[in-house]
Every structure is written in structure tokens, then in C-alpha cells.
């Protein structure tokens, strides 16, 4: 299986090609069953991915494939230097492959129901296949080139899918915003790659890591490059302050949101940091900015993101926006855990996987709710859906409790794993307690906002006609919900030791031998010591209290929300306005660039071109004089191809061009050229 893993993305790409070129024809024959082509392309990868994972877990060596992609000529020593298109399947990649294929399969099956009747039906599935394929390619990358290629393709697909209903202005805007925000971040990514490449003429991860470890790349450069690479990850994984595109991305159809928030796009940033983790570890001793190394920057940004997004999640009234901020917050968790170093590595990746399952589930549940309520997304107009949509109701709670981190759901294990890592690192370095406190605070809020979402949606009585007449979604939508819910419940128990334990630790240790002893970092990978009861207890307490708060306010209505809003008015207003971050970017980056463009245009028109026209006018006056003086000579002497053609055209297409002027110019230039050529001759012959 391991040998065949490279086929997995190809299957999706093939499905995409078929749907793109023959989609409408096929749809005429098969109807909406064309969606199954996309499912087949993705799901066919599942056995390959699972097989690969099992083989790796049994101790198989990771496999590499590569072919020559861009020869770069011959180097001084005679050796040729080339860029390869390289793929690799190791433990990290294999786990991701399984997650992406399984989650994406469920989402695409669900889409068959959700997109029913859409006028660009087959196109939608073509894009979904491309999206999944690109993500799978990114996961398999074993060098920066392939990583970047997959990275950008994922960005393209998010653009196409967020703006899928492009007739809506807001959708088109959101698509553009997503692409450009991540693209700006990608400048950082590119700079990071270029910095490393300028020291090691290779883009291969293993070679770059080896060079960094051996000191061929100065450690400060490694650190700065890692920080630049992280900027790219901030864009893709929606880290503060580049998170603003993600809530807007809700404009896409709900399955797209599920895919973006779970299996693809946002997962790419965290995966990138994980994949390039050795660079962050190696450079830990070297400060990048204000005495902070790159790894700690990852942690700090993650912490801020986790907190900020959680507070924003508390005030949203759009059901999908609650989930959007939740995703941002959870990605912050993962980054923060990665920031703990080796000890947090496996935990962060585990949370990435687990989160993908329950977040895809939650999004598809919200889609089911929206579907059932006839397009209504505002939770204030819902309520009482528990009885009308039982499957959706129960599966939503499964996802919600997992997100909150309630035992024994999958989210509990991964979250506990991360918090234990923070705990361990804090024991080694007390300043890290800030992370512990901040993330536990975010945990309360997480439980509170997801509890609020569930209670507002399902509890009480219907607050609108649409909610009153809501109906459960068809089986093609609910069956994927049940499958994902099952994973959400069981993944933690079954997969915890298997995924979280030895497999990742072995990856970490093969990639970073000897780097465990970085000063200031807790050296051991987590899982090598026992279960931390204290952390589990604290986290559970936090989650329960968050749920309790939300129940008190939104289920039992013991506290008046109007009162809360009044007491917290300044914060509430700022939070509703997303802390003015969007406005800030709009006023500075967007307006600034447009203003600069306008200034440039005016400068070009009046200064640069104005000068050109002025010179042209002046020359014309001079030439006209010269012409008058040498008229006869010019007419005889203008043996010029241009003049001949002019004559030809003059006869055949008289008056088409005002050719008198041209003759004037040509003649003038012949005179000047002859004069200057004489001067050059004299200078060159006599001068030296």
C-alpha cells in the first residue's frame, strides 16, 4: 500500500478532470449521480491511506518518490542541480491522508444531497475533488516546491468554492478576500523558502533539515526563515491577525465550509509547521524578534488566536460564524501546542486530526439545520429543532461535546494531550504558565459558545416560521453525519494510543535526533510519561463550567441576555465589530494599496508620459527645422525599407495613416543617425 500512496491525490485529480470536461454531458445522462464520481475518487484513496498507515505503524520505512521537474543547468563542479517533484509517505503524512480521505468522503457524499438542484452541480464536485486532491498533494510533499504547489492550489480551490455562488456580491468578495489575504501571507512563505535555498541549493525537506542541523545554515537564518514560513501558515490557518478571511468564507456552500474548516485549507498551516518542525526546534536558541525565537512566536500567536477567536465566538448570531470562530480558536490551540516544542508536537497533530472530524461534523450539522430551516442561518430565528431534527440534534451534541473536551469523546483526548504538554513545558519554564492559564480560559469560552449554539438552535420553542416547519434532512446527508459522529465519539478511545503515542514520537525522533536537548524546552515527547490526572481534571472542570454557564443563560434563561449586553456593552460592541480588525485592514492595506495605485497611475500619466510627450514635441520642432534645411538631400537619401513600405501603403491605402509625419521623422532620424555615426567613427578611430 505504501508503494501506491502517491496514487491517492491522482485519483481525486482524475475525478476533477472528468467532472470538469465531461461533467455537464455526464449529468445529462446520470443526473445528480455525477457527484458519486467525486466521492469515488476520494474514497478510493481510503484503503490505500489506511493500508499505508498500518504498514508504517508496523514499522515499515517511509517511502519517497521523486522525478525530475526542473533541471537548472550544470553546476561548477560538473554536477547538475535540479528541482525534483518529490513525495513522501511517512507517519505524519499517512495519518493526514487517512483523515483527509475519510472526512472529505463524508463531506462530498453529504454534498450530493446539499447541492441538489444547483445549476452548476457537476462543477461543484469538480472543484471539491480538486480541493481534496490538492490537499492530499500538499500532505505528501517531501520538498518545499511540492508543498508550495499544493498550498497555492488549495488557495485556488478555496477561491473557486467560497465564490461558488458568485452571483452574490458578498460571495465574490469573500472569495477574493480569502485568496488575497492568504496570498499576502504566502509572500512570507516564499521568503522563508528563498532564504533557506540561498544557503542550501535544495528544496528537499530532509536535506534542508540536515544542513540546518549541521550548521551549514546559520542558526539565526534558520530562525528568521522559520518565522517567515510561519507567516504563510498564519494566513492559511487563519491565525490572528490574518484570520479575518475565514469568517467571511462562510459565503460558500456549507459543505465547502466543512471542507475548508476541517480537512483542507486551514489544516494546511498547522500541518506545515508540523512538517517543518525541525527548523523551529533547531532555531529555538536563536531569537528572531524581541528576544523571542520562532517556535515561541508560533506559540504566542496561537495563544492570542485561541483567546481572541473564542471571545468572538460568544457573540455571533449566525450559526456558521460561531463555528468559524471556533475553528480559528482551535487552530490557535494547535499552534500554541506546537509552540511548546517536541512535547506538544504529537498533541497538536492529534488535535488537528480529531478536530477535522468533529468540526466537519458540526459544519454539516449546521448545514443540515440551515437546510431544514429553508436557508435560515440566524440562531435567533431558530429554537426547538431538537424534536424536528433528531439525527441532527444528537450528532450536533456529539460534535459540541467533543469540541468542549468532554470525556470520553475524541476532543477530550487531544485537548488533554495538548494541555498536558503545556503543563510539562510550564514545569520546565514557569513563564509558560501564561499559556496554561490562557488556554484554560479559552476552554471555558469554547464550552460556553458551543453550548450557546446548541441551546439556541435546538432548545426551547421555534422562534420563526421556518424553524417551526423545519424537517430532518435526507439520508444522503444524515448518514455522513452519523458516520462522522461515530468517529467523533470513538476516535479518541480507539486511536489515542495508536495515533498519539508511538507513531508520532517515532517521527519526531527520526527527524530530530539529538535535538531533544534544546535548552529551555521540555525534552521528552509526550506519551512517554503517564496520564496527567491534574490536567484532565482542570480541563474537564473548565469545560463543564462553560457548558453550565451557557445552559444557565440560554436554556434555563436564568440570566437575561439583555442585561449582560448592557453590562458588557463596550466589549460587546467591539466584539460585534470583530474588534475592528477588518476595518483596520480595510482602512490601511486595502485603501492604502488602492490609493498608491491611483497615485502611480497619475504619476505615470502626467509625469512620465508627460515628459515623453514634451520631449517628443520639442524634437519635432527641431527636426522640422532640420528637414527644411536639408530637404533635397533627405528626399534623395532616404533609401530605407520603412520609406519604401510607406510608399507602398501610401498608394494602396491612401490617407489611412497620416504618413507625411512619419516620412518626416524617418528622414530626420536618418540625418541624425548619419551624423552621429560619423561622430562615433571619429571618436573610436581617433580616440583610442
Residues 182-221 that bind other proteins (CB under 8 A): 183-184, 186-187, 190-191, 194-195, 197-199, 201
The closest alpha carbon to 411, from 457, 359, 483, 364, belongs to: 359
* Residue whose CB is less far from other proteins, 560 or 598: 598
Q: Which stretch binds other proteins (CB under 8 A): 312-320, 344-352, 358-366, 601-609?
A: 601-609
Site for other proteins in 491-520 (CB under 8 A): none
Which of 593, 624, 631, 647 forms a contact with other proteins (CB under 8 A)? 593
Under rule CB under 8 A, residue 317 binds other proteins: no
Under rule CB under 8 A, residue 61 binds other proteins: no
**144: burial class by Cβ within 10 Å (0-12, 13-18, 19+)?**
buried
* Residue whose CB is less far from other proteins, 61 or 653: 653
The closest alpha carbon to 332, from 290, 289, 284, 300, belongs to: 300
Which of 30, 33, 166, 622 forms a contact with other proteins (CB under 8 A)? 166
Site for other proteins in 394-413 (CB under 8 A): none
Neighbouring residues of 153: CB distance < 8 A, sequence distance ≥ 6: 130, 134, 137, 138
| C-alpha span between 421 and 506 (Å, rounded) | 17
Under rule CB under 8 A, residue 73 binds other proteins: yes
Under rule CB under 8 A, residue 657 binds other proteins: yes
Q: Which stretch binds other proteins (CB under 8 A): 102-110, 166-174, 484-492, 552-560?
A: 166-174
Taking the CA atoms of residue 477, residue 482, residue 483 and residue 489 in that order, the dihedral angle to the nearest 10 degrees is: 150
* 363, 365, 398, 567, 569 from 554: Cα distances, Å: 21, 20, 19, 17, 19
Per-residue interface string for the shown chain with other proteins, residues 16-55, x marking contact by CB under 8 A? ----------------------------------------
Which of 7, 33, 70, 624 forms a contact with other proteins (CB under 8 A)? 70
Backbone angles phi, psi at 265, to 5 degrees: 30, -85
Under rule CB under 8 A, residue 624 binds other proteins: no
* Residue whose CB is less far from other proteins, 564 or 596: 596
The closest alpha carbon to 335, from 412, 402, 428, 268, belongs to: 268
| C-alpha span between 664 and 637 (Å, rounded) | 13
CB of 593 to other proteins, least distance (A): 7
203, three cell numbers: 528544496
CB of 58 to other proteins, least distance (A): 35
* Residue whose CB is less far from other proteins, 179 or 357: 179
Under rule CB under 8 A, residue 573 binds other proteins: no
CB of 212 to other proteins, least distance (A): 16
Which of 28, 75, 557, 566 forms a contact with other proteins (CB under 8 A)? 75
H/E element holding 84? strand 80-89
Site for other proteins in 77-96 (CB under 8 A): 77, 81
CB of 194 to other proteins, least distance (A): 4
Sign for the pseudo-dihedral over CA of 588, 593, 599, 602: negative
Q: Which stretch binds other proteins (CB under 8 A): 275-283, 507-515, 542-550, 675-683?
A: 675-683
* Residue whose CB is less far from other proteins, 268 or 369: 268
Q: Which stretch binds other proteins (CB under 8 A): 463-471, 499-507, 536-544, 602-610?
A: 602-610
Which of 33, 289, 597, 614 forms a contact with other proteins (CB under 8 A)? 597
Residues in contact with other proteins, counted by CB under 8 A, come to a total of 77
> Number of C-alpha atoms within 13 angstroms, CB side, residue 537?
3
CB of 631 to other proteins, least distance (A): 20
Q: Return the DSSP state at 524.
A: S
Altogether, the residues listed in the chain come to a count of 688
Q: Which stretch binds other proteins (CB under 8 A): 295-303, 458-466, 499-507, 664-672?
A: 664-672
Neighbouring residues of 628: CB distance < 8 A, sequence distance ≥ 6: none
Q: Which stretch binds other proteins (CB under 8 A): 297-305, 311-319, 493-501, 641-649?
A: 641-649
Q: Which stretch binds other proteins (CB under 8 A): 69-77, 110-118, 349-357, 627-635?
A: 69-77
Residue 565, number of CB atoms within 10 A of its CB? 14
| C-alpha span between 34 and 40 (Å, rounded) | 10
* DSSP assignment string, 123-182: HHHHHHHHHHHHHHHHHHB-BHHHHHHHHHHHHHHHHHHHTTTTTSHHHHHHHHHHHHHH
Residue 200, number of CB atoms within 10 A of its CB? 17
* Residue whose CB is less far from other proteins, 186 or 248: 186
Amino acid at each position: 500500500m505504501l508503494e501506491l500512496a502517491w496514487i491517492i491525490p491522482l485519483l481525486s485529480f482524475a475525478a476533477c478532470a472528468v467532472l470538469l470536461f465531461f461533467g455537464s454531458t455526464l449529468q445529462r445522462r446520470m443526473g445528480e449521480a455525477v457527484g458519486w464520481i467525486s466521492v469515488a475518487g476520494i474514497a478510493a484513496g481510503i484503503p490505500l491511506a489506511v493500508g499505508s498507515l498500518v504498514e508504517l505503524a508496523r514499522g515499515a520505512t517511509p517511502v519517497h518518490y521523486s522525478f525530475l521537474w526542473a533541471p537548472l543547468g550544470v553546476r561548477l563542479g560538473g554536477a547538475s542541480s535540479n528541482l525534483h517533484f518529490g513525495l513522501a509517505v511517512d507517519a505524519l503524512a499517512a495519518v493526514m491522508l487517512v483523515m483527509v480521505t475519510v472526512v472529505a468522503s463524508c463531506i462530498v457524499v453529504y454534498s450530493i444531497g446539499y447541492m441538489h438542484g444547483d445549476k452548476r452541480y457537476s462543477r461543484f464536485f469538480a472543484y471539491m475533488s480538486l480541493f481534496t486532491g490538492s490537499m492530499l498533494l500538499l500532505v505528501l510533499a517531501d520538498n518545499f516546491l511540492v508543498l508550495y504547489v499544493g498550498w497555492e492550489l488549495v488557495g485556488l480551490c478555496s477561491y473557486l468554492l467560497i465564490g461558488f455562488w458568485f452571483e452574490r456580491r458578498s460571495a465574490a468578495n469573500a472569495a477574493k478576500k480569502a485568496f488575497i489575504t492568504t496570498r499576502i501571507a504566502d509572500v512570507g512563505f516564499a521568503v522563508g523558502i528563498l532564504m533557506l535555498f540561498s544557503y542550501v541549493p535544495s528544496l528537499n525537506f530532509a536535506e534542508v533539515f540536515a544542513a540546518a542541523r549541521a550548521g551549514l545554515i546559520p542558526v539565526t537564518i534558520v530562525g528568521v526563515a522559520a518565522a517567515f514560513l510561519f507567516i504563510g501558515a498564519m494566513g492559511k490557518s487563519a491565525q490572528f491577525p490574518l484570520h479575518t478571511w475565514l469568517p467571511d468564507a462562510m459565503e460558500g456552500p456549507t459543505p465547502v465550509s466543512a471542507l475548508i474548516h476541517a480537512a483542507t485549507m486551514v489544516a494546511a498551516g498547522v500541518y506545515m509547521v508540523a512538517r517543518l518542525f525541525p527548523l523551529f526546534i533547531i532555531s529555538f536558541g536563536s531569537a528572531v524578534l524581541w528576544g523571542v525565537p520562532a517556535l515561541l512566536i508560533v506559540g504566542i500567536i496561537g495563544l492570542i488566536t485561541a483567546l481572541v477567536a473564542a471571545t468572538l465566538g460568544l457573540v455571533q448570531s449566525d450559526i456558521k460564524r460561531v463555528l468559524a470562530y471556533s475553528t480559528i480558536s482551535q487552530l490557535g490551540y494547535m499552534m500554541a501546542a506546537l509552540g511548546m516544542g517536541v512535547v506538544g508536537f504529537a498533541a497538536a497533530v492529534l488535535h488537528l486530526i480529531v478536530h477535522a472530524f468533529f468540526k466537519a461534523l458540526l459544519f454539516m450539522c449546521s448545514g443540515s439545520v440551515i437546510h431544514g430551516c429553508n436557508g435560515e442561518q440566524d440562531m435567533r430565528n431558530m429554537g426547538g429543532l431538537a424534536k424536528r431534527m433528531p439525527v441532527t440534534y444528537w450528532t450536533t451534541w456529539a460534535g459540541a461535546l467533543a469540541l468542549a473536551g468532554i470525556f470520553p469523546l475524541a476532543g477530550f483526548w487531544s485537548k488533554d494531550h495538548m494541555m498536558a504538554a503545556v503543563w510539562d513545558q510550564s514545569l520546565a519554564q514557569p513563564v509558560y504558565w501564561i499559556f496554561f492559564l490562557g488556554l484554560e480560559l479559552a476552554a471555558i469560552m469554547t464550552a460556553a459558545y458551543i453550548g450557546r449554539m446548541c441551546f439556541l438552535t435546538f432548545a426551547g420553542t421555534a422562534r420563526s416560521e421556518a424553524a417551526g416547519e423545519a424537517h430532518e434532512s435526507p439520508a444522503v446527508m444524515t448518514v455522513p453525519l452519523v458516520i462522522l459522529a461515530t468517529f467523533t465519539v470513538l476516535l479518541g478511545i480507539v486511536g489515542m494510543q495508536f495515533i498519539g503515542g508511538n507513531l508520532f514520537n517515532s517521527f519526531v525522533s527520526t527527524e530530530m535526533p539529538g535535538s531533544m536537548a534544546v535548552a529551555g524546552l521540555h525534552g521528552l515527547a509526550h506519551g512517554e510519561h503517564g496520564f496527567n490526572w491534574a490536567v484532565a481534571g482542570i480541563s474537564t472542570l473548565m469545560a463543564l463550567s462553560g457548558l453550565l454557564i451557557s445552559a444557565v443563560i440560554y436554556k434555563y434563561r436564568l440570566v437575561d441576555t439583555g442585561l449582560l449586553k448592557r453590562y458588557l456593552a463596550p466589549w460587546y460592541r467591539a466584539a460585534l465589530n470583530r474588534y475592528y480588525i477588518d476595518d483596520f485592514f480595510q482602512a490601511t492595506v486595502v485603501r492604502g494599496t488602492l490609493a498608491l495605485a491611483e497615485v502611480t497611475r497619475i504619476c505615470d500619466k502626467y509625469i512620465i508620459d508627460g515628459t515623453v510627450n514634451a520631449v517628443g514635441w520639442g524634437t519635432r520642432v527641431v527636426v522640422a527645422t532640420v528637414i527644411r534645411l536639408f530637404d533635397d538631400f533627405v528626399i534623395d537619401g532616404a533609401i530605407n525599407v520603412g520609406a519604401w513600405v510607406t510608399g507602398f501603403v501610401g498608394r494602396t491605402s491612401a490617407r489611412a495613416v497620416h504618413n507625411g509625419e512619419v516620412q518626416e521623422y524617418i528622414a530626420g532620424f536618418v540625418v541624425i543617425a548619419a551624423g552621429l555615426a560619423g561622430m562615433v567613427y571619429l571618436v573610436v578611430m581617433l580616440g583610442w
